[in-house]
Amino acid sequence: MHKRPTLCASLVREIQRRIATDEFKSGEKLPPENEIAALFGVSRTVVREAIKQLALMGLVRVEHGKGMFVSSFDPTFLAQSLSPFILTNRDMVFDLLEARQHIETIIAYLAARRRTRQDVEEMEAMLSVMKEALRGGEVATYAEKNLSFHMLIAKASRNTVLAMTIETFRHLLKEFMADFMTMVPGMTASAIDYHVKIFRAIKKGDALSAQKHMQNHILHVERALREHLNNLDIKPDKGDPWKKA
């Protein structure tokens, strides 16, 4: 029989989620104890204990006389460390896509079950921006908003660890997504179709369909990338995968 989480544990998880989804941004000052207590309907004692736990995790720092600040996980640090290896190694590019497939399909499933009206509205607005960029031939803008759309899905999953993982992926993928979409004919048009299907499934709350469409989307990207690299006759582990050997 599962124990019901304590008020402190619930508050810790909620603040973790808000940090992961950028509702509480890195470096931002948190509201005072009394405001947090009122916001979440708990006592100041619970808030103090939660802040202590978050500080031990390295997510929050307390500066006496100044207040409490977010010092969240910075996904750019890991992304910057991994980028040189992934971007010059064909096998690692596909390892990244494989990892993304397993993680993002679960995220899509959870998002369909847990999304709010605001989540749906934000996704729909982002899709509109993506379509406009596509019509205007703005591939770089489309690629950037494409990754932002995936982050909105991660936010809707309400899973802090998964959201942090996808944020790291976002910084890794940002390095080459625009170039890839420019080089592969029809890539952006087909991608937007998959995004629309994923969005509609999430909006309807159809978790299995959202999961299936996300899997098909990422498999499509992987197939297109393999075909593109094969056409360039690039060998694995031989330099820059975006230039002909």
pLDDT in tens, 153-194: 999 999 988 888 887 777 666 656 656 666 666 677 788 899
Domain with CATH 1.10.10.10 in the chain: 7-70
Per-residue DSSP letters for 137-175? Answer: T-HHHHHHHHHHHHHHHHHHTT-HHHHHHHHHHHHHHTT
Q: What is the CATH number of domain 7-70?
A: 1.10.10.10
Domain with CATH 1.20.120.530 in the chain: 75-231
Query: Of 85-89, 127-131, 145-149, 234-238, which has the strongest mean pLDDT?
Result: 127-131
Give, in words, the CATH class of 75-231: mainly alpha
Torsions phi, psi for 211 (to 5 deg):
-65, -45
Cα–Cα distance, 153 to 156 (Å, whole number) = 5
Q: Which residue has the higher pLDDT, 120 or 184?
A: 120
Strand-pair partners of 69: 29, 61
Q: What is the CA radius of gyration of the chain?
A: 20
pLDDT of 199 higher than 50: yes
Q: Are 213 and 197 within 8 A, CB to CB?
A: yes
Mean pLDDT for all residues in the chain: 81
Q: What percentage of the chain has pLDDT greater than the value 90?
A: 40
Q: Are 8 and 2 within 8 A, CB to CB?
A: no
Q: Are 19 and 164 within 8 A, CB to CB?
A: no
Q: Is the pTM of this model over 0.75?
A: no
pLDDT of 102 higher than 80: yes
